[in-house]
Amino acid sequence: MNIVDLNTTSVREFNARLHEVRSDSEADDWQVLNPKGKHSLAVGLQAPHRVGIEGSVGYYCGGMNKSAKVTVTGQCGKGLGENIMSGVIHVSGNAAEAAGASGRGGLIVIDGDASSRCGISMKGVDIVVTGSVGHMSGFMAQAGRLVVLGDADEDLGASIYEADIYVRGETGALGADCVEKEMTPDHVKSLSLLLQQARVECPTGDFHRYGSARKLYNFHVDNACRY
């Protein structure tokens, strides 16, 4: 176990130590103490680290993650796991704006609520939120899955492409070109497997699926006000 106290170690030095490990190395364990809302912790990881951060973090924690598992015991600021490539990020508390933004792969699990624009422009990441999400979540989501066990605020899935959004609770007005879609047996199975991967126990029967109506793929003057 590598123990890092951010009262005495700078964020730059901490991240540099993580980056020194080769991508083909075996998994190792890191315990991070006293994060105290510091920004850009455990970013750009290329090796299969297991990083446990004991406390709340600031902006962009776990950004550009590849292969590592990052666990935050606390809250997190905006941009959690931005552009994640692979691996897992797990937050035991709430997440601020734009969690999982532009994520291309991997899994993000948020045990609390996520604020606005959760999953904005996601490109293949899976995001599971056990609470509720704020407005414009799934905005311009291109691929991947956003699962919300609570409620979703206004403009869910605005300008969505081919991502799937699953919501168990209530939704506000859906965003432009986002519609409720059929929940087929294949989608139920896919959702069930994802919840198992996220270690979230929840029946799938109450979920609704949302996706693109595919009316904004090509410009049409009658839709100009919706672009």
Tell me the DSSP string of 173-196.
Answer: SB-TTEEEE---HHHHHHHHHHHH
Q: What is the mean pLDDT of residues 90-114?
A: 98
The pLDDT assigned to 25 comes to: 80
Q: Classify residue 24: in a domain, yes or no.
A: no
- Beta strands (DSSP E) in 55-106 are 69-73, 88-91
Q: Classify residue 108: in a domain, yes or no.
A: yes
For 185, counting Cβ atoms within 10 Å of its Cβ (0-12 exposed, 13-18 middle, 19+ buried), the class is exposed
Q: Classify residue 113: in a domain, yes or no.
A: yes
Output the average pLDDT for the chain.
Answer: 95
Give dist(CA 40, CA 57) in Å, integer: 8
The pLDDT assigned to 119 comes to: 98
- Within 13 Å, how many C-alpha atoms sit on residue 204's CB side? 17
Please name the helix (run of DSSP H) or strand (run of DSSP E) that holds residue 2, with its range, or none.
strand 2-5
Q: Classify residue 109: in a domain, yes or no.
A: yes
Q: Classify residue 12: in a domain, yes or no.
A: no
Q: What is the mean pLDDT of residues 18-42?
A: 92
Q: How many domains does the chain have?
A: 1
Token pair recorded at residue 57: 């973090």
Domain that holds residue 201: 52-226
Q: Classify residue 5: in a domain, yes or no.
A: no
Q: What is the mean pLDDT of residues 5-23?
A: 94
Q: Which has more pLDDT, 85 or 25?
A: 85
Q: Classify residue 169: in a domain, yes or no.
A: yes
Q: Which residue has the tokens 């492409």?
A: 161
Percent of the chain with pLDDT over 90: 91
Q: Classify residue 33: in a domain, yes or no.
A: no
